[in-house]
Amino acid sequence: MSKMIPPHIDRVLFTEEQIRERVKAVAEEITEKYRGRELKLIGVLKGSVFFLTALAREIGLPVKIDFLAISSFGNQKSAPGLVRIAKDLDDSIEGEDVLLIEDIVDTGFTTRYLLQNLAGRGPNSLSICTLLDRTTRRIVQVPVEFRCFEIDDRFVVGFGLDDRQLYRNLEYLAVMKPDGK
């Protein structure tokens, strides 16, 4: 499936090669910032898995990896930003240099919640790295230190991002057709 363009895709936004080049460049920035230290990457399931894997392979430091999963609940219009941790970390992050890995930072509500939650666990440092940064929809400002791409307000799938759990395995990032057909 990943070598063809499914019919629900409008167009490819970033190719596999563009993603690989940008991930490598961001990994170099991360390597430079954390040189001489161990780094703990925390991926937000499920969307960050492909990005975290590609990024970890390019970082020139020893890395530890852990995951957490979140669930949103409530009415997104009347009560946006209500989230809870559905799967917590397996290990403590106390004293660790932590890099939170997101597939996309959108409104900022979820990322702010995760930052506040993780900061309370005593890490040595805590930063954000995201594949996609959609600042046009930002409601809550969050300090995204590392980003691969900034995008406009459009529905994107591939490289971990999904539409009803489909298309995560695309090797590129693509814009869905407006009608989904």
Q: Assign domain 17-74+82-151 to a CATH class.
A: alpha beta
Percentage with pLDDT > 90 across the chain: 85
Q: Residue 81 pLDDT > 80, yes or no?
A: no
Q: Mean pLDDT over all residues of the chain?
A: 92
Helix, strand, coil shares of the chain as percentages rounded to 5? 25, 35, 40
User: In the prediction, which pLDDT does 74 show?
Assistant: 52
Q: Give 6 or 157, the one with higher predicted confidence.
A: 157
Given pLDDT bands bounded at 50, 70 and 90, which one contains residue 79?
low
What residues are labeled active site? 106
Torsional sign, CA 31, 34, 39, 43: negative
- Contacts for 88 with CB less than 8 Å, ≥ 6 apart: 68
Domain positions in the chain are 17-74+82-151
What's this model's pTM, rounded to 2 decimal places?
0.92
Given pLDDT bands bounded at 50, 70 and 90, which one contains residue 180?
low
